[in-house]
Amino acid sequence: MPETLALETREVSVTPVPHTHDEPARSAVSSRLLPVLEASLIWIFLLGGWFVAAEYLPLGDNPLVPSPLITARALWDSLPELWLGTISSFGILVPGFLLASLAGIGLGLSIGTSPRLQRAFFPFARVAAPVPPTVYIPYAIAILPTFKLSAIFVVFIGAFWPIFQNAAAGAHALEERYRDNARILGLSGFEYHRRVVFPAALPHIFSGMAVGLGFSFILLTVAELFGANAGLGRFVQYYADFADYPKMVAGILYTGLVTFLAMTGLEKLKRRALFWQR
């Protein structure tokens, strides 16, 4: 009689693991919050150090260092005046920066693609570009009919050279195969610059615009210290003259915030324009 093999079956109880549908959402939120937290660490550290220095250290007795709460109150009270100053400052910044962008991009692309123009213009650029634009402020105020025109001119000079140099570098770095393809397609003149040179040089152009925008804010503030009746730089200088340091510090922080927002807007425009680099 053959042996009968008995197969024992055991019931294994398996506890089902619940699938949470919110795990992807949590990971997405954490991936968004982590960069924000990392970017905020230095600011949180500085704000904490400022609060401790103003409240608990002998530095707090110095009227030049108002506490964060006093500064925040002064900032809130000054918001209407700061808003008017922002409008006045942007009335100078926007025309100067836009004119510098148009001239810098146009001349940079044209000169960057022409060896003859490079030989004629680059020696002049090497001499004129390093001159600090602030030295033009007293002379511009003296010869131009209004302070606004002189300030726009100074902002234009400060933003023009970084944009021009980067546009020319981007056009000069265009690969030869793109030039050959443009010749085969019969592109020349404006169409060649618009369809081939400008898209290829766009990353360099945005780099120059970022540097130019930073210089524009610096030169705008310096120009407003000389003879403006309104503006963010004038706000800081006015309350510094009257020793109202809470409002002066509030104006500095507000100007930094406006600069940050403008640079962030330009960076978003760059990401949208250079979508192929993502």
Q: What is the CATH number of domain 74-277?
A: 1.10.3720.10
> CA 82: distance to chain centroid?
20
Range with the poorest average pLDDT among 7-16, 52-61, 167-176: 7-16
59 or 203, which is more confident? 203
Read off the pTM: 0.79
Answer whether residue 143 shows pLDDT above 80.
Answer: yes
Q: What is the pLDDT of residue 3?
A: 47
Per-residue pLDDT, 242:
87
**Which of 60-69, 138-147, 220-229 shows the lowest per-residue confidence on average (mean pLDDT)?**
60-69
Q: Give the Cα separation of 240 and 66 in Å (integer).
A: 13
Domain with CATH 1.10.3720.10 in the chain: 74-277
What pLDDT score was predicted for residue 205? 93
Confidence band of 123 (pLDDT split at 50, 70, 90): confident
Average pLDDT over residues 10-36: 58
Q: What is the mean pLDDT of residues 130-137?
A: 83
If pLDDT is split at 50, 70 and 90, which confidence band does 181 have?
confident
Among the ranges given (98-102, 185-189, 229-233, 244-248), the one the predictor scored with the smallest mean pLDDT: 185-189
